[in-house]
């Protein structure tokens, strides 16, 4: 990938756990779940900002809790709404989609189209974090790189990113399509249906939230990832 041929954009679907005033009654007494990994991706926005500052790439971040509406799910996905909003009426569902869901996804789509007008290809990095334990099972990676192995450009990007990360931070445990599969439902999957496999690569970076408990390590991880992403261009 020759420099300047590749544009870069960033997104963070679970950047915050903010609840707009109109919906706060839904979460009365539920602060614990809002602060948990179910309410947002702790550390994801800090990492996305660090990458954005290092690369000067545009960042679209959704600061509203995913428990209102899940911006990383398709419109017909059964997990689009959580147990807190699933039983709201149709008008409220449409309002959540109009004020939270569509604006975020539209912003990312626009950023991709702008980048493609200026560059031959674009790399879209979606920044996420994951809980170290889920359903009693410990996750065995520090960094996960999610992508579609059937799209050659995405494989090239994942290979380059993994190699650079190993050089920058050799102690990190890096796994591909873990703890989730990169071709399942998500924003990058939707965008793959809109943009050519030769020109668009959607890569999700998943970081183990356990790293946040070690400030020095977390600082080094942010630096290593920012430098590694910058080298993609």
Query: Residues 193-202: pLDDT tens digits?
Result: 999 999 999 9
117 phi and psi angles, rounded to 5 deg? -75, -25
Query: Which class would CATH give 6-230?
Result: alpha beta
What would the two tokens of residue 79 be?
Answer: 């997990």
3-state secondary structure of 125: strand
User: What are the b/e assignments for 25-62, b being 16+ CB within 10 Å?
Assistant: eebeeeeebbeebebbbbbbbbbbbbbbebbebbbbbb
**Residue found by looking up tokens 């994801």 in the block:** 44
Average pLDDT over residues 221-233: 94
Query: Residues 34-87: pLDDT tens digits?
Result: 999 999 999 999 999 999 999 999 999 999 999 999 999 999 999 999 999 999
d(CA 161, CA 145): 9
Domain spans in the chain, listed from the N-terminal domain onward: 6-230
Mean pLDDT, the chain, as a whole number?
A: 96
Residue 3 near residue 119, CB atoms below 8 Å = no
Average pLDDT over residues 7-28: 98
Query: Residues 96-116: pLDDT tens digits?
Result: 999 999 999 999 999 999 999
Residue 1 near residue 232, CB atoms below 8 Å = yes
**Predicted structure pTM score:** 0.96
Measured at the CA of 112, the angle between CA 155 and CA 125, to 5 degrees, comes to: 45
């Amino acid at each position: 990938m020759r420099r300047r041929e590749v544009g870069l954009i960033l997104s963070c679907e679970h950047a915050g756990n903010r609840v707009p005033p109109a919906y706060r009654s839904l979460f009365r007494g539920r602060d614990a779940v809002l602060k948990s990994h179910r309410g947002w991706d702790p550390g994801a926005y800090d990492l996305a900002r660090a990458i954005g500052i290092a690369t000067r790439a545009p960042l679209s971040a959704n600061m509203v809790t995913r428990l209102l509406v899940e911006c990383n799910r398709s419109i017909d996905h059964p997990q689009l709404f959580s147990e807190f909003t699933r039983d709201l009426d149709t008008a409220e569902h449409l309002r959540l989609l109009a004020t939270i869901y569509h604006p975020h996804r539209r912003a990312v789509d626009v950023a991709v189209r702008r980048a493609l007008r200026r560059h031959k290809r674009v790399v879209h990095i979606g920044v996420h974090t994951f809980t170290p334990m889920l359903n009693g099972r410990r996750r065995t990676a520090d960094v996960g790189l999610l992508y579609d192995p059937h799209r050659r450009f995405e494989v090239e990007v994942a290979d380059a990113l993994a190699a650079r990360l190993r050089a920058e931070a050799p102690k990190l445990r890096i796994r591909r399509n873990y703890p989730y599969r990169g071709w399942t439902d998500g924003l990058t999957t939707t965008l793959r249906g809109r943009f050519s496999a030769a020109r668009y690569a959607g890569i999700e970076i998943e970081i183990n939230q356990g790293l946040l408990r070690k400030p020095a390590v977390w600082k080094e991880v942010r630096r290593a990832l920012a430098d590694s992403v910058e080298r993609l261009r």
